[in-house]
Structure 1
Amino acid sequence: MNDRKSASVETEAATPRAADRILDVARDLFYREGIRAIGVDEIVRRAGVTKPSLYRSFSSKDELAASYLKVYEAEFWARFDEAVAAHPGDPRRQIVAFLGGVGERADVEGYRGCGMTNAAVEYPEGDHPARLVSENNKIELRRRLRRMAADMGAADPDTLGDGLLLLIEGVYISGQLFGAGGPAASVAKNADLLIAASLAAR
């Protein structure tokens, strides 16, 4: 009885570790290679687990892809909120600080853009779990940028917010195209110029 109980406890303790390994491997492969390009066989092989272990933790590859994007999104908002907290009450500096970080991350060789943008391109189906995570993130980012543009007194906050969103999305592709030394490195400066022009139009 005690042996069976001990084995059960060990199995329960091992499950989260297996799920974490699967998610870590999937995240790396999905980001670098694309979600559709990677099969579950490759994931379980690299994670050192069995296929049944994967399906005990994630009901499908689609759910695994959505889980990867939820982790990616949580880290995205953590960076965004960190930039906001660093400049309380100053939305202009908050946006410029956030975009400074975006530009730095994009200005390196091997940059693969935004995982959520990439997933939205891979999955045009509106009801796909990965698409839903990506789309909801972009909708919320647009809402926040428009609100911050209004808070700084922009003449047309919705247009400014959308312009900032377009700059961000431009970084994600130009960083992949140009790598280090490309236009992505100047996104914060360009955002500040766009904000200045909007404020001057009041």
Structure 2
Amino acid sequence: MKSVKSDRSSEQKIPPRDRIVSTACQLFREHGIRGIGVDAIAEAAATNKMTLYRHFGSKDDLVCEALKHSSQTLEKAWKDLETDNPGDPRAQLAAWVKARAQCLSSEPYGCDLANAAVELKEQGHPAHAVIESLKMQQHSRLADLCRSTGASDPELLADTLSMLLEGARVSKLATGKEGPSMRFTRACEAAMVAFGLGAGALS
């Protein structure tokens, strides 16, 4: 069994900036951006507030960096779709739906970007530009994939799948995993069929 001391030693080998960002991601996810302060983040990251502010000029700067960090796993997910289904856009789109459905069932806090957009209501907060840019990047990737499948209206299909995903995330938080979000995969399949991709795409 690892000791607390060995865990601390392992943490110290990670550069302070990286520790702060990854720790902030987790704490923002669990407690909300407004629900956690820089003192708690610095302590949990095994550093101090002075070091935190040396890397980030403000908490808002840290929030923006944490949101960018939390979206990095999505890039790997896109690469995995292509690696696992080479040259088969329809299989890649089906795999995207299945991967999003798995995330829906396993992510207890929802989407970091969407949660931040809702929580940070004030106009002009720097995080909004980051959220919009990252969300649009993901949507652009999805639209490109939909176009490559030969769907009848790929842009509208991408919009539809995006809204189904965002709606399912909110629905799960509001009504639990037994609510409408449990039909996310079936709803996506119905949308894909409506846009000419054929039945059974997700079976």
Q: TM-score, normalised by structure 1?
A: 0.80
Is 1:173 equivalent to 2:170 in the alignment?
yes
How far apart are the structure 1 equivalents of 2:103 and 2:184?
A: 11
Letter in 2 for 1:199: G
Per-residue CA deviation, residues 110-169 of structure 1 (Å, 9 max, x unaligned), is 711110111112224564332222111211222222222222222222211110110111
Q: Which residue of 2 aligns with 1:97?
A: 95
More helix by share: 1
Unaligned runs of 5+ in 1: 1-13
Q: Which residue of 1 aligns with 2:6?
A: none
- The counterpart of 1:198, out of the listed 195, 198, 202, is 195
How far apart are the structure 2 equivalents of 1:181 and 1:174?
A: 10
How far apart are the structure 2 equivalents of 1:140 and 1:24?
A: 22
Structure showing greater relative contact order (alpha-carbon pairs closer than 8 Å, 6 or more residues apart) = 1
Q: Which residue of 2 aligns with 1:150?
A: 147
Is 1:111 equivalent to 2:117 in the alignment?
no
SS at structure 2 position matched to 1:107: helix
How far apart are the structure 2 equivalents of 1:56 and 1:200?
A: 52
| Conserved? CA contact 1:126–1:132, under 8 Å | no
Letter in 2 for 1:43: I
How far apart are the structure 1 equivalents of 2:197 and 2:121?
A: 39
How far apart are the structure 1 equivalents of 2:123 and 2:95?
A: 32
Percentage of matched positions with identical amino acids: 34
Gap change, CA 1:98 and 1:173, over 3 Å in 2 = same
| Conserved? CA contact 2:22–2:69, under 8 Å | no
- The counterpart of 1:36, out of the listed 29, 34, 37, is 34
Q: Which residue of 2 aligns with 1:63?
A: 61
| Conserved? CA contact 1:112–1:176, under 8 Å | yes
SS at structure 2 position matched to 1:153: coil
- The counterpart of 1:81, out of the listed 74, 79, 82, is 79
SS at structure 1 position matched to 2:54: helix
| Conserved? CA contact 1:149–1:158, under 8 Å | yes
How far apart are the structure 2 equivalents of 1:188 and 1:90?
A: 20
| Conserved? CA contact 1:107–1:179, under 8 Å | no
Gap change, CA 1:121 and 1:84, over 3 Å in 2 = farther
Letter in 2 for 1:151: S
How far apart are the structure 2 equivalents of 1:200 and 1:183?
A: 23
SS at structure 2 position matched to 1:199: coil
| Conserved? CA contact 1:164–1:191, under 8 Å | yes
How far apart are the structure 2 equivalents of 1:129 and 1:16?
A: 27
Letter in 1 for 2:45: A
Letter in 2 for 1:39: G
Unaligned runs of 5+ in 2: 1-11, 199-203
How far apart are the structure 2 equivalents of 1:113 and 1:70?
A: 16
Q: TM-score, normalised by structure 2?
A: 0.80
